[in-house]
Amino acid sequence: MLKSEVTNRINQSKIVAVIRGENAEEALAIANASSAGGIDIIELTYTTPSVDDVFKEMASSDAIVGAGTVLDEQTARNAIIHGAKFIVSPHFDSKIAKLCNRYSVLYMPGCMTIKEIVQALEYGCSIIKLFPANAFEPNFIKSIKGPLPNVEVMPTGGINRDNINDWIDAGAFSVGIGSDLTKAYRKNNAAGVTDLAKEYVKAVKER
């Protein structure tokens, strides 16, 4: 899948499921349940033990699967080899940016300041992850787009059903949700995740 196609799908979906599991089995269950509920953009984080196994299991899924919590270029390369269609970091790393540019893979680095965002733009990152988003208000996106109108913003961290549309209405390219899905799984297993994913998708479609 082309980088542009991945970018468009993330924008159309508006929701990225950020999957953090205690182990590969839990991560796979949450990922599949999220996809079943209509969230078809899945970010498998490298905080999950044996996450490579989850990539292998998700290879036949219709969802677009990427890698999160990628801290260095070696991890980024490993993720790409295992089929990651996009790479997400909690920070900006120039070596990861160069690697992703080399393989035409979307890289969304975490940024909190205009200086960091400008640096990311200089390395070809058109979408930045605003992280942690709960340290900001949704209107911060408009503040970013004042001097930097071409940058797209994906807030992650603290996004929930009560504020998701506030962020989207403020101009978010997409949003990342994670802890809600994990909590739903540990409370009601896969069915709870699927039901919650459906609620998120419905909320976005009805806005």
One-letter amino acid identity for 45? T
Whether 95 sits among the annotated catalytic residues: the reply is: no
The encoded tokens of residue 156 equal 């992650």
Whether 183 sits among the annotated catalytic residues: the reply is: no
Give the pairing type, strands 64-68 and 41-45: parallel
Counting Cα atoms < 13 Å in the Cβ hemisphere of 64 gives 22
CA 14 and chain centroid, separation: 10
One-letter amino acid identity for 76? A
- SS3 at position 44: strand
The one catalytic residue in 14, 85, 129, 152 is 129
* Helices 24-36/179-205 angle, 10° precision: 10
- Sheet with 15-19, edge to edge strand ranges: 106-108, 86-88, 64-68, 41-45, 15-19, 175-177
- Asked if 132 contacts 154 with a C-beta cutoff of 8 angstroms, the reply is no
The one catalytic residue in 14, 26, 43, 152 is 43
| Active site members | 43, 129
